[in-house]
Amino acid sequence: MARSVEAVRCLLVVVLLTAVISCATGPLSACSEEADGALDCSRQDLSGADLSGANLYEANLSRADLSHADLSGADLTVADLTVANLHLADLTGANLEGAWLDGANLTGADLSHADLWGADLTVANLTGANLSGADLFGADLYKADLSHADLSGADLTQAAIWGAKASQNTIWPEGFDPVVAGVSFD
C-alpha cells in the first residue's frame, strides 16, 4: 500500500512539473500580466502560434505579430489588436466583440462566423478576408479595405461602413447595397 501511495505521489509531481514547464514555454509565456489581470502581449511575435480557444479577454495585443496564428474560437472580447498583424490568421468563430482592430492587417484572415459586434475596424486591411457569416452589428469599418473580401451572410446592421474601400470582387450579404452605404470602389 505504501508503495502505491508513493507511486501516485511521484506521478502527481511529474504531472505538475510537466504542466508548469509547458505553461512557461507556451506561446504566451513572453507576455506580462497587467494589474487588472489582463495579458500584455503588445509587440510580441506570436506568428504561427496555436491560441485556439484561448482566453484573451481584454488582452493587449497591439502591434503583435499574429500572422498565420490559430485563434479559432478564442475569446478576444474588448482586446486591443490595434495595428496587429493578423495576416492569414484563423479567427473562425472567435469572439471579438468590442475589440479594437483599427489599422490591423487582416489580409486573407478567416473571420467566418466571428463575433465582431461593435468592433473597431477603422482603416483595417481586410483584403481577401473571409467574413462570411460574421456578426458585424454596429462595427466601425470606416476606411477599411474590403477588396476581394467575402461578406456573404454577414450581419452589417448598423455597421459604419461609409468610406470603406471595396473591389468588384467583394462579396456582399444578400440585399446589401454597398453604394448606398457609402463604399468606394477602386
> Over the Cα atoms of the chain, what is R_g?
20
Residues comprising the chain, all counted: 186
What is the three-state SS of 94-124?
CECCCCECCCCECCCCECCCCECCCCECCCC
**Residue ranges of the domains in the chain?**
1-30, 31-186
User: In CATH, which of 3.40.47.10, 2.160.20.80, 1.10.287.130, 3.40.630.10 is domain 31-186?
Assistant: 2.160.20.80
Cell of 160: 459604419
- What residues have CB less than 8 Å from 81, skipping those under 6 apart? 61, 62, 64, 66, 96, 99, 100, 101, 104
Cell of 14: 511529474
Residue 4: count other Cβ atoms within 10 Å of its Cβ.
8
Confidence (pLDDT) at 35? 75
Which run of H or E residues covers position 21? helix 2-24
Q: What share of the chain has pLDDT > 70, as a percent?
A: 87
Per-residue pLDDT reduced to its tens digit, 136-175: 999 999 999 999 999 999 999 999 999 999 999 999 999 9
Does the reported pTM lie above 0.75? yes
Confidence (pLDDT) at 186? 79
Confidence (pLDDT) at 99? 98
Confidence (pLDDT) at 70? 98
Confidence (pLDDT) at 124? 98
**Among 150, 158, 149, 156, CA closest to 176:** 156
Confidence (pLDDT) at 101? 98
| Whole-number Å distance between alpha carbons of 49 and 99 | 20
> Strand 184-185 relative to strand 165-166: parallel, antiparallel, unpaired?
parallel
The residues of the chain scoring below 50 in pLDDT are 8, 10-24
Burial degree of 167 (CB within 10 A; 0-12, 13-18, 19+): middle
Confidence (pLDDT) at 4? 61
**Among 156, 144, 151, 113, CA closest to 129:** 151
Cell of 41: 502581449
